[in-house]
Amino acid sequence: MNIRIHKRIVGVIVLILAAVIGLGICCLRPPVQSTAVRPDEGIEVPILMYHGILKDKKLQGKYVISPDLFESDLKYLKDHGYNTIVMQDLIDYTHGGSLPEKPIMITFDDGYYNNYLYAFPLLKQYESKMVFSPIGRYADQYSEHPDTRASYAHANWDMINEMIRSGYVEVQNHSYNMHANTKERNGAKKKKGESIETYKKVLTDDVTLAQNTIKQHTGWTPTTFTYPFGAISDVSLDILKEMGFEATLTCASKSNYITRDPECLYGLNRFLRPNGISSEQYFANILG
């Protein structure tokens, strides 16, 4: 055997040995980590808080914006790749479900007729969803005595059902008759000096009435309690959990980090949407 042939044989053997050794090393490496979200991981979800929508500029302010501004907000979110979700999406996520890329939530408190008049058609136009939290007492009142004055009327049950059937609106509990701020009580908050037993009965009776009323008129049982005015008592959460609520909405101006832990859905923060600031500036302030 000449030297040239010998070198070729040696070279082939070296290549074979290298391949075998490399295969062995690969087999010893740990498997690639799954991209699935672990229980301690999650996703940031901003929640927006709206109230009234009116065309009259004299009535616009901290809690009332124009229809044009709301449309501008929807267009901004769509153009920037955000996907609107509802509370059930978050609940499903904590139980192993998925969320779309760049999730964001639109909420409307109090159940005004102007939400149905101005916001609802725009939601359908931009294929966006919202969480609608009516005050049970007023939904009943305006169903019995219909009124369509945009400045103060509330949506009735026919309107609410129409919105639910569209697939763009989810209804949640905002109390039946605790949306008041008086010397006696601030929203659904415990009064000073009130016993826990008395407070539990007051809160349970009112919220249960709202639950039953919503279910009676819509067939849907709310999963989330939206605190009136964001007024919270330390003992209220345990009471609401005992009643079966899986989430609560507050008024703190912060974003939310949603994990697979269902407990993260209690005390969700929301960014108030006032009038007088462009969509670009508003979202730059809260989304960074």
Residue 24 has pLDDT above 70, yes or no: no
pLDDT digits (tens, 9 = 90+) for 242-258: 999 999 999 999 999 99
Q: DSSP states of the chain as a string? A: --HHHHHHHHHHHHHHHHHHHHHHHHHHSPPPPP-SPPTT-EEEE-EEEE-EE-S-GGG-SSSEE-HHHHHHHHHHHHHTT-EEE-HHHHHHHHTT----SSEEEEEEEE-BHHIIIIIHHHHHHTT--EEEEE-HHHHHHHHHS----TTT-B--HHHHHHHHHHTSEEE-B--SS---B-SS-BTTPPPTT--HHHHHHHHHHHHHHHHHHHHHHHS----EEE-GGG---TTHHHHHHHTT--EEE---S--EEEES-GGGGTTB--EE--SSS-HHHHHHHHH-
Q: What is the pLDDT of residues 61-116, one digit of tens each?
A: 999 999 999 999 999 999 999 999 999 999 999 999 999 999 999 999 999 999 99
* pLDDT score for 59: 98
Q: Taking Cα atoms as reference points, which of 125, 131, 61 lies closest to residue 103? A: 131
- Express each pLDDT in 107-160 by its tens digit: 999 999 999 999 999 999 999 999 999 999 999 999 999 999 999 999 999 999
Indicate the pTM of the whole model. Answer: 0.85
Residue 8 scores a pLDDT above 90: no
Token digits of residue 258: 């949603």
